[in-house]
Structure 1
Amino acid sequence: MSEVQWAEGERRGTGRGWTAAALGLLACVLAAPTFVLGQSDEGDEAARSEVEALPLPQLTEGPTGPLELEIYGPTRELYRIAVPPLGGHATAAQQARDVAKNDLRLSSLFRLVDGTAGVGDPDDLSINPTLWMDGGAQGVIKGTVDLAGGEMTMTLRLFETVRGNTAVLERRYEGPRSEIRADVHDFINEVLLYFTGVRGIFGTRILFARPTSRETKDIFSIGMDGYGLKQWTRDRGKNLIPNWGPHGTVFYTTIDENDWARLYRSDREEPILAEPGINMGAAMGPGGKMAVVLTRDGNAEIYLATVDGELLARLTYNEAIDVSPVWAPGGGRLAFVSDRDGSPQIYVMNADGSGQSRVTFRGSYNQTPSWCPRCDAPTIAFAGRDGGTFDIFTVEVGQGTMRRMTQFQGSNADPTWSPDGRLIGFYSSRGGIYLMNAEGLNQNRIAGGFAETLRWSN
């Protein structure tokens, strides 16, 4: 369930706090792990009569074709890299190799080529550049993983075949065997830094909510490579709309047995916000502040608060719904969703609430914005409804240029940018959490099962 739907349910009720109408709307979505988003077409008829929106763009309106990337030079193609079998302990070496290959695949920056063309002795950390070039490899990762009494020693090297038999990058890791995955992530992050000047983001995590029974929802996180599932909440009813907080904490809203919707953080037992009505949508900003959505004044508005729950200022004053705040890089602006023009659309405002302006002018139901942290131009990803399904789009703030990322692939929603701005995570009705690059290509499922309100860690 999106914050837009939740707030609409609250607004349709009467009185303060939860109402029968709001709870009825919640029940139909929270009771089971179905992929239900947005209102029905009939419910949007009034909105369409107020504002006629242009249709959402199609994939044919933007660049198409195979994924290409410029690493260096004037050509645009994926860098071809091989990861041959590693030496040392067979099982541990295979694990390290599998992690490295998966990281390279998910990065959208490399094309894996045959890893046996010039393999030689796996324990030999040198290469024969000619054999690897003949096999189509521009780069080669070699290494060894040795085990002794549960302790691991791993050496990894990166070669560029045009530079001969001298490694351009080498790292040595020591520690428990359980650290193999994290250490390989670190090495691949260094590989990305070497080629692009920006360190990779392997080892970061994606936060989300999912049903755990017909009566409960809980908060989970998973490594961005699909490993290391962690459950953050249990036995607290319906836990929704999570976000990362300071020092690795998690903020989320809980609907308890008394139908109160309070805002919690994972390192405290008591709620940090328990205003009448809805307390939700915490988004961490600069200086120990966060943006939150409250209905304490009758409808959903965005407020500024400290991460300890002290209210500082109200940012929106509108009879419409204002929800889903997300901070821009640098903390100077916020994106949010409002239906003030008749249907949910993406808006931006300054951090003090001034300068509110509409960003999306195509589509009749746009929600769940996520601001790109490192794009060349200010860019927001969001989910837009097109017919009976949702898809992922991006829009360039200020220019209004919109680009479609998904189409004809089921329903796709709740986008979240990676910290380096290279990837977008999202939920798809194809069956789980997917990653794709900023072009909408190289889509890979990293985890199965339902997920909503995805948030990527820094």
Structure 2
Amino acid sequence: MKNYPGFSRWATLSVLLIFFVCVFGVPGKGFAADTLTVDIYGPGQRKVNVIVLPPKTVPEGKYSGSKEKDLPLPGEAGTFSKDLESDIAFLPFLHVVPVTDILGGDPSVGVRPGDIDVKPLRLSKVDLAITTGWEIRPNGEKNLLLRCIGTYNGRTIIGKKYSMVTEEMLPRIADRFCSHLMKVLTGRDGFFESKIAFVRKTGKDKEIYTVSPQGRNLRQISSLGGVNLSPNWSPDGRRLVFTRLGSRQHLLCVWDSDTGKIDQKSFPGNTVIGPAFLPDGNMAATLTMNGNSDIFLINGNYKPKKPLAQSWAIEVSPDFDASGQKMVFTSARFGNPHIFLLDMKTGVVTRVTKDGKYNTNPTISPDGRYVAYARQTPLGHRIFVHDLTSGQERQLTFGPGNDEDPAFGPDGYFIAFSSSRSGKYQIYLTTRHGDPAMLVPTGGGIAQAPAWGKAGKS
């Protein structure tokens, strides 16, 4: 789906939904199309109401029938429904309606559109109903049937079947289904197929960790001791680059998910700050090659090639759009830290921020349109976003505490940031429209400096 110019300016986006009328395992049933208008322009929008109906057990080879609800459910069925609801709660344009809010309770006897009485759902203003069917085979294998049904026309929007399901697979299945749902509703995906790298402080050490946006699959990447900072993903999500502050010098570190190994490289001047990947696999980082702190292009063999941003002042925090044609960075070349934009083709540098006296840590959306950054205000650091097309600027976060280190997600819609609003720094999520912040569970210790990338391999 195209990125509409009015998407961030309180406009209404009409989302065209293609409703696939499918029978699990039976291809070639055709499809029908209808239009559902969904307001997804930011806080205050009309949310789409979704209900996750109670799970049903489906006899092998059957998908409806009044006896389904009398069959025993597997023990993990309830947990899976909670996983689905938890995932949906991360999408700010959706609202989960509990079954207890429906007049008469559960209006379904099965998992197909014809098994659901949509009238009470419509009365409760439910737009979408999700059904889960558990098919238990004679050999004990379990298949999971998932559908999302539109209550306004009773048709299947999404239908998926997952075979030979185990309990360990269920969170991932919930993620995949919700990713399909987000794609159909908004034309965007990536949230449930991504992971966040961050810096966790435990004691005196700072190490690099990764976690899913929902707080799953927490993993420690580095065990180098000391201070490790500024993680950044490669475009394919298979490598992480970060800085290690050694006892005598900074080291550029690259973690490879295929091998689990971390390469460490030093550079003349002994300074490496804020490394970042370009889409072509090269890197950029602040080095002190010539005495000044300038941003250099570094090739795949860790050789500095040329300066990308240089001046008498400190140039730091490079970040690139998906095309590699735009680089945002922080520079104090005019006296105070501000955000700048480099056109990689022409070499032309333009100033992005003009307000405030302290703007840092820029991140650019994959489509190259939006730049988010942290600004120091009288009440603390706050996250702002600048629309490069319209020139409009908007404050996204309002504390309390400090909000810092913004990082766009792969879809360009969500933004991760670190905040001390709870008393210690933790990772939170918002959107480029400033939706209420959601905490990302990252375990114990202080969590800062999020970097958001594709799932890749972990």
TM-score normalised by the chain length of structure 2: 0.79
- 2:248 is aligned to 259
How big is the shift at 1:381? 0.5
1:380-419 map, 5 Å: 380-387=371-378, 389-397=380-388, 399-419=390-410
SS in 2 for 1:457: strand
**C-alpha distance in 2, partners of 1:152/1:361?**
59
Alignment match of 1:207 (pick from 190, 197, 209): 197
1:244 counterpart (230, 233, 236):
233
In 2, Cα distance between the equivalents of 1:113 and 1:453? 34
Q: Which amino acid aligns with 1:434?
A: Y
Residue 132 in structure 1 maps to residue 121 in structure 2: yes
Amino acid at match of 1:423: F
Which of the residues 301, 311, 322 maps onto 1:308?
A: 301
Comparing 85-94 with 330-339, greater Cα deviation is found at 85-94
Task: Please report how far the alpha carbon of residue 380 of structure 1 lies from its aligned counterpart in structure 2 after TM superposition.
Answer: 0.3
Task: Give the Å deviation of 1:241.
Answer: 0.8
Identify the residue that residue 111 of structure 1 maps to in structure 2.
95
Larger fraction in strand? 2
Which structure's relative contact order is higher, taking Cα pairs within 8 Å and 6+ residues apart?
Answer: 1
SS at match of 2:192: coil
Q: Aligned partners of 2:386 and 2:218: how far apart in 1?
A: 31
Instruction: Give the letter for the 2:331 counterpart.
Output: S
Structure 1 consecutive aligned stretches of length 4 or more whose deviation exceeds 6 Å: 147-150
1:444 aligns with 2:433: no
Cα distance, 1:282 vs structure 2: 1.9
In the alignment, residue 185 of structure 1 is paired with which amino acid? D
CA distance in 2, matches of 1:386, 1:271: 37
- Give the whole-Å Cα distance in 1 for the aligned partners of 2:286 and 2:390: 27
Q: 2:310 is paired with a residue of what secondary structure?
A: coil
SS of match in other structure, 2:79: helix
Instruction: Say whether 1:298 aligns with 2:294.
Output: no
Q: Which amino acid aligns with 2:92?
A: S
Change over 3 Å in CA distance of 1:389–1:91 after alignment to 2? farther
In the alignment, does 2:86 pair up with 1:102?
yes
1:344-383 matches, within 5 Å, as 344-351=337-344, 354-374=347-367, 378-383=369-374
Q: Distance in 1 between matches of 2:389 and 2:429?
A: 26
Partner of 1:73: 37
Instruction: Specify every segment of 5 or more residues in structure 2 that has no aligned partner in the other structure, as ranges.
Output: 1-7, 16-35, 40-44, 58-72
C-alpha distance in 2 between matches for 1:302 and 1:184:
42
Deviation at 1:84, TM superposition (A): 2.1
Distance (whole Å) between structure 2 residues aligned to residue 441 and residue 309 of structure 1:
40
Matches within 5 A, 1:273-292: 273-292=266-285
Query: 1:410 Cα deviation (Å)?
Result: 2.0
**Share of identical aligned residues, percent?**
25
Q: Is the 8 A contact 2:407 2:416 kept in 1?
A: yes
* TM-fit CA distance, 1:429: 0.8
8 Å CA contact 1:68–1:77 kept in 2: the answer is no
TM-score, reference length from structure 1: 0.79
Which structure shows the higher helix fraction? 1
Letter in 1 for 2:354: F
User: Do 2:326 and 2:344's aligned partners in 1 also have CA atoms closer than 8 Å?
Assistant: yes
Q: Distance in 1 between matches of 2:143 and 2:53?
A: 18
Letter in 2 for 1:244: W
1:305–1:145 Cα change, 3 Å: farther
Report the aligned-residue RMSD.
2.6
TM-aligned CA deviation for residue 450 of structure 1:
2.3
Matches for 1:17-166 after TM superposition, within 5 Å: 71=15, 72-73=36-37, 77-88=46-57, 89-116=73-100, 117=102, 118-120=105-107, 124-125=111-112, 126-145=115-134, 152-164=142-154, 166=155
Aligned length: 390
Q: Quick one: distance in 1 between partners of 2:140 and 2:309?
A: 57
